[in-house]
Amino acid sequence: MIQEDLNVIYNEDLIKTFSLNKLVGQPKVSVIVPAYNTEKYIFRCLLSLIKQTLKEIEIIVVDDGSTDDTAKIVNKFAEYDSRVKIILQKNLRQGCARNNGTKIANGEFIGYVDSDDWVDLDYFEKLYNAASEHNADIALATNVRIGGGKTKKRLNITEEKLVSELQDKIDVNRQWKNECPTNKIYRLSMLKENNIVWPEGTYCEDKLFTIMAIYYANAVVTVPDINYYYYRNPTSTVNTRTKEHYLKLIEDRNNARRSVVEFLREKNAKIRDKNFWAIKKEVKIFGKTFLKIKESLHTEKYYIFSVVKIWERKI
C-alpha cells in the first residue's frame, strides 16, 4: 500500500513532476471522475491518479456544470498529462456524468473515483493484476471513510479471494447495508454486454448499477492492502440537508431500493431474503406515519408507527 498525502494542496510543480506527456499504450484501466464544485479537493484526487504505479490508464473527468474553479484545475492537469481528458456538461448529476465518461472509455477495465476522494498509489495496479490473474470481471479493495474527525474502514479486505456464487459476490461487497460502486474496477465489456448504466437525474444512483454489475460478473476477486479513501465532504449532495433535498433524497433512496428488489425478483435470484428491502407503501395521518409496508424479494412486513410489526407474509 502506497498512500497519498492527505494534506496535499494545489501545487502546479507537483502536476509537472508526476505528469506523463505522452500516452503509454492502450489503457488497461479507464478512471471516470465526476466532478461538481470540488475545487478544494480535486487536486488531491487527480494527483493520486497521475501518480499511479500503473501508468497505462486514462483519466476522464466529467465536469457536471461546476461554477467554481474545478474545470480550471482539471485543465491544468490535462495541459501537462496526456492521460487526462475533460468533458463539460450542464448540471445533470453523477449518474449522467459517469455514463458520459464511460461512453468514451477505452480501457479493458473501468473504475469510478469521486472528485473529493482519492486512492492508494498502487491501487489500480493491484486491482488490475488480480482481475487479470483470476479472469474476474470485478476486483475490489478496502473502503476507508475519512471526515468529521473519524477514520473508519467501511469495508475491510484482508485476503485475496475469488468468489463466483451470487450470494458470495454480494457478501464480499457489502459494507454496512449497501454495496459501494467506487472501491472496485469492472470489466468494461461486461458492463456493455449487459447494458449496465447509471440511472440518471436521481440520488442513490449507485444501488442498481452496483447490484447489476455484481449479478452479471463472472466472478469477484478481493484485493487486500490497498484502499479507496472516501472523504465525507460536508458540502456533498449526500450531506446537504435542506428540506427539499432531504425529501428528494428519501424518495430517491427508496425508489432505488425498489429497483434493486424488482431486478433481483425478475432474475429469481437465489439469495437471502433479508439482504434487500424497500418501502412498498406508507400511510400517514396528520403527517405522521401510521402504517408502513416493507417488501423484500419474497416477504412483506406490516408495521404501525414504523416500528411495531403486526403482520408478515410470503409473496
Compute the distance between CA of residue 303 and CA of residue 292 in angstroms, rounded to an integer.
Answer: 5
By the 10 Å C-beta count (0-12 exposed, 13-18 middle, 19+ buried), 314 is classed as exposed
Distance CA 130, CA 162 (A): 10
Give 247's contacts (C-beta < 8 A, 6+ positions apart): none
Residue 198 is placed in which grid cell?
447509471
Annotated catalytic residue 137 = no
Please identify which of the residues 206, 225, 252, 273 carries the catalytic annotation.
206
Cα 24 to Cα 185: distance, rounded to the nearest angstrom: 20
**Are the C-beta atoms of residues 96 and 67 closer than 8 Å to each other?**
no
What residues are labeled active site?
206
